[in-house]
Amino acid sequence: MNFENENGQEIIISEKDMIVSTTDRTGTILYANDIFCKVAGYERKDVIGKPHNIIRHPDMPKVIFKLLWDRVLKGEMLYAFVKNISVNGDYYWVKAYVKPVLENGTVVKITSYRKPLNDYAKNIIIKLYSTLLDYEKSHSIEESLQFLLSYLDERGLSYDQFIDRLSLEKSVENIALRSIDFNKHKNRHIIFKEYVVNTVTNKQFDELDMVNSEVCSFGKWIESVSTEPFVQDSAWKKVVSYNDKFHSSLNEYVEKAKNSDSINNLSSILKDLDEDINNIFTNLTIVKDKY
């Protein structure tokens, strides 16, 4: 599919410009500012009273507007990335902030404020919207919505988080990193540490030898992503280092306890273990945020 309009040229919107329009709850235009009219190529008198979709580009998936209207009519504000078309067939990409106006709890108007979309987000969105358009050819709008939500779920992102990350020019494609449940693994580290401490306190060393800890699954996950680009990041290297240190410190704690080492020595190791856990998941959060 040739996503770009072969006959149209892209209109580059200035950062200083703000495109503004207001519609009623059915999408009929009630107001359009000068920049709206200039970029779209219409006289104001020619757009007032017209449906807002007169500037909808055919490359826009219907499901994006379903998601937008479903939320706006519930009184929610949201952002959306939109490709619009001007009267002569040229096109322009915007990041739209869509805000409903409520009276007595009912949405009566919707105002959209639009700024230019950054190139990083545009490149990702062009691919996604092309896929959605193809999907819509053979599926219902509800099925298309589920397809979009599945796409987001695979990346561990809500729609709003997806928009926010692209607005900040951050990756949304690293599924391996986004699929990991950080809180679950952090809790497993804490629980396993407490289990080891209690077992050592009760001198049940044989039981420790038989344990196949769920904490090991985190180490296996680390190994499974060894070819991902983020493994070169300094924060990721700290994740690996602190995770290795956590396990070596646990082994040291057990060995010293077996040899009836002093409480002071054991206490210092426990303190290190707590710091290791925090350092593992603090740095993992940094990596996730960056990639």
The pLDDT tens digits for 190-230 are 999 998 888 888 888 777 665 556 567 899 999 999 988 89
157 and 183: one domain? no
77 and 109: one domain? yes
162 and 220: one domain? no
159 and 26: one domain? yes
Number of structural domains found in the chain = 2
Cα 284 from Cα 266, distance rounded (Å): 27
In a domain, 119, yes or no: yes
23 and 162: one domain? yes
Q: What is the DSSP string of 175-215?
A: HHHHTS-HHHHHHHHHHHHHHHHHHHHTT-HHHHHT---TT
118 and 181: one domain? no
For residue 142, CA distances in Å to 99, 127, 137, 149, 271 come to 24, 20, 13, 11, 52
pLDDT in tens, 23-35: 999 999 999 999 9
Q: What is the CATH number of the domain that holds 42?
A: 3.30.450.20
Indicate the residue among 151, 167, 183 that finishes a domain. 167
Indicate the residue among 123, 141, 167 that finishes a domain. 167
145 and 280: one domain? no
pLDDT over 50 (residue 1): no
CB 139 within 8 A of CB 115: no
Under 8 Å CB-to-CB from 85, ≥6 apart: which residues?
5, 8, 55, 56, 57, 58, 91
In terms of residue numbers, what domain contains 101? 19-167
Tell me what pLDDT residue 261 has.
Answer: 62
156 and 219: one domain? no
Of 111, 104, 103, 100, whose CA–CA distance to 70 is shortest? 100
Indicate the residue among 116, 133, 167 that finishes a domain. 167
The two tokens of residue 237 are 């290297």
97 and 158: one domain? yes
Mean pLDDT of 91-108: 97
Mean pLDDT of 100-127: 97
- Give 96's DSSP letter: E
pTM of the model as a whole: 0.75
154 and 204: one domain? no
In a domain, 11, yes or no: no
CB 143 within 8 A of CB 51: no
Cα 257 from Cα 272, distance rounded (Å): 16
For residue 268, CA distances in Å to 99, 116, 239 come to 55, 55, 21
Cα 155 from Cα 173, distance rounded (Å): 7
